[in-house]
């Protein structure tokens, strides 16, 4: 069998198959492997124009690849990745390349890279965002790890990635597991933005008593302005989809329990480990968890009713809500980027936030007009300490702050839960507070646990006898 394929894909589900089709469209000779014969037939059907073929035999698949072999894994994260690698390794040669493009936890990626390096095999992790459509027509890709290995596939990935102003939405992220780490944080921001849109929907439905058509119209209007983003675009379209069973709108028959695959939770966990606050992202993760207690929520809604004070000035509230949504979006990005900066130092990832914001502008789920402003902020000041520190962002925050506060007050007055909106404004207020009340917390710690404290008028570490005057 001739070694004539440039790259091979293991896992021909939706993402793997569409990414292969994208590569074939760009003129690359690619093939795939899957244990499921249906997936192989689907690849052949969809890839008929390029005469795409796949393999049911792993050995034949491996033999069909050019040396050094370049193999992309698009299989479910976790033990399955380790299982596939274990099957692959005996069939590979030194300097072959394995690329894990699933949503693997970054610690797993670090471990696998070390283990495979000791066997002479290149390995790196690459986060991919954009879903089915992105994979097919241009995703955002976040490769990190073995730079030499990445360079061997760089032309392929740059060709198939999304483009913004001619720039490919893929770039080498950094060493180690940085690619999967950045994708994890991307997903954390995604959680926050989805929850903010859900809270906006709640305010429109239960605060302004808007029907689905009115909500669609407003979201559609906003998506033509500064809020333009992939998530708002798909959200507005949800309010037009009919349910085949009832004839009504599908949104009205979907149970209000949100599931998750874990990447949001991982973002929350690592933020706690790094002692860097991302409260809006954390609230989004917590709210999905709280939604699962449906029976308890129904019971408490009956026993703890709240009489809402309906919002009457709808036109003014619409303006304020657009401002609050923009404020919360800025804050979600700010928290994620701040976490990346901290992780870069802690894990020696050498992250370039300008580059990351650049490749997030197209292809990925969190792409938005706002990312152009963020990209410009990091272009002007690559070592920007926080997104709030940029003068242009500061000017925007000042303009929309009164409307944001008004929305949060109205929501609380009406008994509408807004965990992400409330956390965003509190995060902002906490960061703009020069002298916080946490001197009291440190005094308490020293009082009952002799944990010491620092003074504002003298250098050093101190402990007080708090009972001396009692």
Q: Which residues are catalytic?
A: 183, 190
CA 99 – CA 145 distance, rounded (Å): 10
Identify any residues that bridge with 168 across adjacent strands, giving them in sequence order: 163
Give the count of beta carbons closer than 10 Å to the beta carbon of residue 51: 8
On the CB side of 52, CA atoms within 13 Å amount to 33
Q: What is the rounded distance in angstroms from the CA atom of residue 302 to the CA atom of residue 314?
A: 28
Residue 426: CA count within 13 A, CB half-sphere: 13
Q: Where are the beta strands (DSSP E) in 58-139?
A: 70-73, 97-100, 122-129
Burial 355-386 (b: 16+ CB within 10 A, else e): bbbbbbbbbbbbbbebbebbbebbeeeeebee
| Residue 288 region by backbone torsions, left for phi larger than 0, else alpha for psi between -120 and 50, else beta | alpha
- Kindly list the distances between the CA atom of residue 402 and the CA atoms of 50, 59, 144, 199, 316, in Å, as whole numbers in the listed order: 56, 64, 41, 18, 12
**Which residue, among 256, 276, 406, has the nearest Cα to 344 in the 3D structure?**
276
**In this structure, what token pair is assigned to residue 410?**
């109205």
In this structure, what token pair is assigned to residue 44? 């052949």
> What's the Cα-to-Cα distance from 346 to each of 174, 182, 275, rounded to whole Å?
13, 14, 11
């Amino acid at each position: 069998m001739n070694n004539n394929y440039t790259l091979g894909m293991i896992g021909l589900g939706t993402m793997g198959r569409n990414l292969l089709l994208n590569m074939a469209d760009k003129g690359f000779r690619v093939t795939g492997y899957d244990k499921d014969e249906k997936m192989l037939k689907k690849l052949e059907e969809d890839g008929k124009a390029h005469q795409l073929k796949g393999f049911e035999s792993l050995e034949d698949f491996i033999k069909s690849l050019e040396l050094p072999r370049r193999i992309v894994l698009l299989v479910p994260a976790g033990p399955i990745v380790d299982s596939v690698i274990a099957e692959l390794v005996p069939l590979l040669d030194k300097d072959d390349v394995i690329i894990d493009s699933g949503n693997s936890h970054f610690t797993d990626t670090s471990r696998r890279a070390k283990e495979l390096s000791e066997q002479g095999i290149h390995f790196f992790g690459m986060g991919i965002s954009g879903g089915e459509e992105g994979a097919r027509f241009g995703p955002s890709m976040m490769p990190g790890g073995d730079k030499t290995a990445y360079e061997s596939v760089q032309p392929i990935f740059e060709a198939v990635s999304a483009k913004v102003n001619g720039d490919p939405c893929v770039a080498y992220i950094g060493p180690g597991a940085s690619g999967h780490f950045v994708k994890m944080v991307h997903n954390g921001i995604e959680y926050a933005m989805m929850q903010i849109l859900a809270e906006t929907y709640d305010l429109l439905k239960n605060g302004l008593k808007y029907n689905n058509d009115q909500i669609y119209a407003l979201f559609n209007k906003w998506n033509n302005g500064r809020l333009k983003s992939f998530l708002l675009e798909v959200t507005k379209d949800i309010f037009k989809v009919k349910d085949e069973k009832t004839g009504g709108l599908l949104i009205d028959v979907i149970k209000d329990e949100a599931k998750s695959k874990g990447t949001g939770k991982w973002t929350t966990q690592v933020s706690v480990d790094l002692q860097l606050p991302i409260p809006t992202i954390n609230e989004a993760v917590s709210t999905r968890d709280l939604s699962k207690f449906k029976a308890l929520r129904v019971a408490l809604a009956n026993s703890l009713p709240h009489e809402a004070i309906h919002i009457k000035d709808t036109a003014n509230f619409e303006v304020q809500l657009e401002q609050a949504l923009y404020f919360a979006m800025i804050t979600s990005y700010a928290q994620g980027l701040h976490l990346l900066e901290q992780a870069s130092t802690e894990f020696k990832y050498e992250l370039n936030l300008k580059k990351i914001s650049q490749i997030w502008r197209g292809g990925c789920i969190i792409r938005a007009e706002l990312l152009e402003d963020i990209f410009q902020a990091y272009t002007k000041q690559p070592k920007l300490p926080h997104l709030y520190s940029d003068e242009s962002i500061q000017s925007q925050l000042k303009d929309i702050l009164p409307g944001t506060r008004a929305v949060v007050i109205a929501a609380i007055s009406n008994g509408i839960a807004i965990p992400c909106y409330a956390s965003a404004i509190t995060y902002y207020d906490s960061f703009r507070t020069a002298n916080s009340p946490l001197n009291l917390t440190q005094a308490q710690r020293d009082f009952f646990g002799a944990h010491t404290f620092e003074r504002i008028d003298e250098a050093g570490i101190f402990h007080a006898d708090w009972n001396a005057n009692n």
